């Protein structure tokens, strides 16, 4: 087994353990390449069906093609899509630098979805 196969096997094990131990559970899906890999791994871990919702915290700043991709693959892969919006930038601390303010919007949107759905676990993909 090469290094990539080992990483994939470890990832699948972690996804299955998270599902076994943490409910309700969700997988963050930003529509970017890292989170698309996570959805692909979750599908592989559970024989083609993701048994928990995927969560998109929407900044409202994606390209139209990305929203079309989200809609197409939500249907194609039979995903349970959990959507939430980020609060307006005006609601975020104005003393923060622009990049931190943008990140704070995403954090607030995520926190709101976690609270709304009483999630015990959230899976996020971070590049190794």
Per-residue model confidence (pLDDT) at position 128: 64
Q: Quote the pLDDT of residue 121.
A: 97
- The per-residue pLDDT string of the chain (128 residues; one tens digit each, 9 = 90 and over) reads 899 999 999 999 999 999 999 999 999 999 999 999 999 999 999 999 999 999 999 998 889 999 999 999 999 999 999 999 999 989 999 999 999 999 999 999 999 999 999 999 999 988 76
When computed from its CA atoms, the radius of gyration of the chain, rounded to whole angstroms, is: 16
Report CA-CA distances (Å) from 37 to 34, 100, 116, 126. Answer: 5, 26, 26, 10
Q: Do 53 and 81 meet the contact criterion of CB atoms below 8 Å apart?
A: yes
**pTM, entire model:** 0.90
Rounded alpha-carbon distances, angstroms, from residue 17 to 25, 45, 117, 121:
11, 10, 20, 11
Query: According to CATH, what is the number of the domain 3-123?
Result: 3.40.50.620
Structure tokens at 34: 């890292």
């Amino acid at each position: 087994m090469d290094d990539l196969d080992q990483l994939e096997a470890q990832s699948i094990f972690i996804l299955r353990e998270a599902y076994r131990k943490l409910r309700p559970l969700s997988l963050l899906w930003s529509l970017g390449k890292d989170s698309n890999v996570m959805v692909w791994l979750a599908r592989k871990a559970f024989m083609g069906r993701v048994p928990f919702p995927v969560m998109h915290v929407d900044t409202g700043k994606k390209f139209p093609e990305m929203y079309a991709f989200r809609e197409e693959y939500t249907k194609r892969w039979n995903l349970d899509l959990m959507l939430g919006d980020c609060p307006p930038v005006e609601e975020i601390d104005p003393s923060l630098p622009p990049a931190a303010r943008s990140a704070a919007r995403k954090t607030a949107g995520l926190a709101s979805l976690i609270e709304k759905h009483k999630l015990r676990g959230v899976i996020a993909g971070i590049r190794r």
